[in-house]
Structure 1
């Protein structure tokens, strides 16, 4: 195979989209309501791929679990108002997606973000018309690191998992791909904490930037 994989599935936040600025705006709505000073982007960015609860834990470390849990829905509501206003695709993403499409291959999105929020992100970048499938964290009975969302996507689109590739910036992405029998790419340009060791995740390919994936030869086979 000399072209791109026939189906490439992507994580959303931290892989396709630099959504940290939108998340920061939502966090700072909550902080302002509590009379706290704004958080800094650098403080929040490493936690974005781990979801709302991880971001709240990083942003409100003095609150107990129950108090932070009570902030989950207000955070999601605030984030919904900020979607697409601040975040942008990572540099090189649009060129990579265009190259995949030009090769006649398809791409889709499998994210742990609630589906209703993910669907609101896509129109800003015309991804709703281009993505072959969107599976959110609440679309199915399981979410990543469970393999079901990846297996479901491949099945719906009629491609064997071994002929697909999953691209993600979090260990859960790589664990899910391995369990689904799907080759994987570690997106090193995404969101990571300082104690993360992407090499230990055992992805098939590690890519420093989306530009590295413009060449089909760099993809796992």
Structure 2
């Protein structure tokens, strides 16, 4: 049985796309840029908020990007939980993993201040051993530094670790960290992306994660 399962956040544990899109559209609207339909944000997120802004306004100069980032954070700080919710079966899966002695962690490209608000709001009773978001002194995924930071905080043999995410970024992060990967189909990216990123497993239900982790059904 696995000893540690590391989860991506957006598109894996939580459906955050509406709140992310609304925050970006607020920033765009405030500075007079065209807004984007919410479904299109599924293909803009995943590499951190700066990259989201750069994708939303590809021709923006650095000063404009900084202004948009500030507006995004201002809005998202107040509205991060308006429409966000856990995916079906997530809470039960986390509880079952914990009850069976599996440690839980979060590794996300969402900036740390937002993570620190969202995780306690939606999972107040889940004892994560590490909850790590994007910080200035650590490169974003798919650089594996965030995984190594979690393993430094909660030392675990890599053979006993599972990494769960919904995108090619996540699968590449796991591959670079040399840990087993699980791609989930309920997130923001298509199954073809997970296959193309060489996911070790692709699942469409949380119960399948329990099985891969070695949990008795």
Task: Sort the TM-score into its range (normalised by shorter chain).
Answer: 0.7 to 0.9
Q: Aligned pair 1:14/2:11, yes or no?
A: yes
Segments of 5+ residues of structure 1 without an aligned counterpart are none
Q: Is the 8 A contact 1:11 1:169 kept in 2?
A: yes
- Retained in 1: the 8 A contact 2:12–2:186? yes
The root-mean-square deviation of aligned C-alpha atoms, in Å, is 2.6
- Residue of 178, 183, 187 corresponding to 1:181: 178
Name the CA shift for 1:140/1:209 in 2 (closer, same or farther; >3 Å).
Answer: farther
Distance in 1 of aligned mates of 2:132 and 2:181: 17
Q: Aligned partners of 2:65 and 2:24: how far apart in 1?
A: 12
Shift of the alpha carbon at 1:93?
1.0
* SS of equivalent to 1:13: coil
Q: Relative to structure 1, is the Cα distance of residues 207 and 12 closer, same or farther in structure 2, using a 3 angstrom cutoff?
A: same
CA deviation after TM superposition for structure 1 residue 36, in Å: 6.2
Contact 1:49-1:169 within 8 A present in 2 as well: no
Task: State the partner residue of 1:160.
Answer: 157
When residues 98 and 137 of structure 1 are mapped into structure 2, their CA distance, relative to the original with a 3 A threshold, is same
- Matched residue SS, 2:11: coil
Q: Deviations along 1:35-73, whole A, 9 cap, x unmatched?
A: 567543212223222332343345445x43433443122
Equivalenced residues, count: 214
- TM-score w.r.t. the length of structure 2 is 0.85
In the alignment, which of 107, 112, 132 is matched to residue 110 of structure 1?
Answer: 107
Instruction: Report the 3-state secondary structure (helix = DSSP H, G, I; strand = E; otherwise coil) of the residue aligned with 1:215.
Output: helix
State whether residues 3 and 160 of structure 2, in contact with CA within 8 Å, keep that contact through their aligned partners in structure 1. yes
2:201 maps to: 205
Say whether 1:42 aligns with 2:39.
yes
Closer/same/farther in 2, CA of residues 218 and 37 from structure 1, 3 Å limit: farther
Q: 1:218 to 1:40 in 2, by over 3 A?
A: farther
Q: In structure 2, how many angstroms separate the alpha carbons of the residues matched to 1:47 and 1:133?
A: 26
Q: 1:1-221 alignment to 2 at 5 Å?
A: 1=1, 5-34=2-31, 39-60=36-57, 63-66=59-62, 67-127=64-124, 129-138=126-135, 140-192=137-189, 197-216=193-212
- Give the TM-score normalised by the residue count of structure 1: 0.84
Identify if the C-alpha distance between structure 1 residues 39 and 70 changes in structure 2 by more than 3 Å, giving closer, same or farther.
same
Secondary structure at the counterpart of residue 23 of structure 2? helix
Q: CA deviation at 1:87?
A: 0.4
Please list every run of 5 or more consecutive structure 2 residues that lacks an aligned counterpart in the other structure.
none
Q: Is the 8 A contact 1:20 1:41 kept in 2?
A: yes
How far residue 208 of structure 1 moved from its aligned partner, in angstroms, is: 2.1
| Mean Cα deviation higher: 102-111 or 50-59 | 50-59
